[in-house]
Structure 1
């Protein structure tokens, strides 16, 4: 984690913890997306003392179930369960997440504020427009955040690594993370979003069967990794691997 960095005024709302330089930051189009797609990995990192955070781009205000206020409270509860050091919301409009210059400026300013080393974003193959829109928006924001002459507050920041996480569609991962040891905590964090997963089923994602359904994917990826459960990610750039660790 970076130390001694002077943080500019926040271009977001902090709902949990304190804005600070982060080791890992997960971008979520809506509340609960980060928990579902990358929650186990984030929990593992937090348990190892890494500074881990989540930034929701929207408040999920157009979702069929739950209110923005209820969903904020659920995000706070899930953050505590996961051991996050920070959780924030950018406040972009739900249902309209796409690559726009104002949105990219807002996100780039947020990246400069919390200065993540690793950024985790939804995969561009996701069927949900807000999810692949978040990917496209993140690509521009990552570029803007490192430009010294960009019209942004804060010091330039270069994200060292971008990883893509699985949402609602299949992916071809280049990285699998063993999350078997944190399954109980992961399930608690997901189910903290009671407004989405405690009522009737309205979609394949908004359903009380969410843990069972997502765990089936974790089991599949775990089989390939020779682990009980694994989360899948894709790295767009080649990963440097120590051959002695293989």
Structure 2
């Protein structure tokens, strides 16, 4: 019996579902392990970019089907409502299993395909030190997908694409922030985008992240990062690589 090749038809067949907008070249793409993670971790920055005319997108890696609150259908509808508030050009769903997000060949090939189709300049991913295993697993999945998307001989279809910058966003733990974005002017819409996920943030306390106090807790973090940047509110990101800056733009 001949050995199985690494790239099976199953891997080639996995693809993302568009849930909002249209697939197009994107400036920034934010990966969310579950519905609502992008809004909580990077929503203010996405709103600022969208208002500046930049095409930005969000890709949910799972439907959050194992969450205590909300059905997959309810959460999908909430994602559409939040996408309108954020001003997204595109939102998609990869459909990987909730609670089992990690670096797998099938998931990495599917995500690499999205990177080739969307061609983002900047990719925003969860931090690898996050306490939630789906968040840390998403980081490692993204790293493999970034590598595959740039390989000309990878069996993915489409043209190879190399993302210019990867930023890590804050989830359920601290980060070594070296990139701060002033989001003070968009806090009203930032809060509205989070609250669009009503199944998660209305009712009783379920976990450290699924709680009615999520906006209050996150706002406190944004105020802390804002203090360091001498603004009222700032979203924090970590770049694992040095940032090249044009000094004339300082």
Distance 2:102 2:30 in 1: 17
**Range that drifts further, 181-190 or 10-19:** 10-19
Distance 1:30 1:81 in 2: 18
The structural deviation recorded for 1:242 is 2.9
Name structure 2 gaps, 5 residues minimum: 1-12
Matches within 5 A, 1:87-236: 87-236=91-240
Kindly indicate whether the alpha-carbon contact (under 8 Å) linking 1:25 and 1:119 is maintained by their aligned counterparts in 2.
yes
Among 39, 43, 50, the residue aligned to 2:43: 39
Distance 2:172 2:64 in 1: 17
The structural deviation recorded for 1:198 is 1.1
Name structure 1 gaps, 5 residues minimum: 1-8
SS in 1 for 2:96: coil
Among 48, 52, 66, the residue aligned to 1:48: 52
Give the greater-gyration-radius structure (CA).
2
The structural deviation recorded for 1:140 is 0.3
Structure 1 length-normalised TM? 0.95
Kindly indicate whether the alpha-carbon contact (under 8 Å) linking 1:10 and 1:110 is maintained by their aligned counterparts in 2.
no
Match in the other structure for 2:241: 237
The structural deviation recorded for 1:244 is 4.3
Structure 2 length-normalised TM? 0.93
Segments ≥4 residues shifted beyond 2 Å: 242-246
Distance 1:20 1:245 in 2: 28
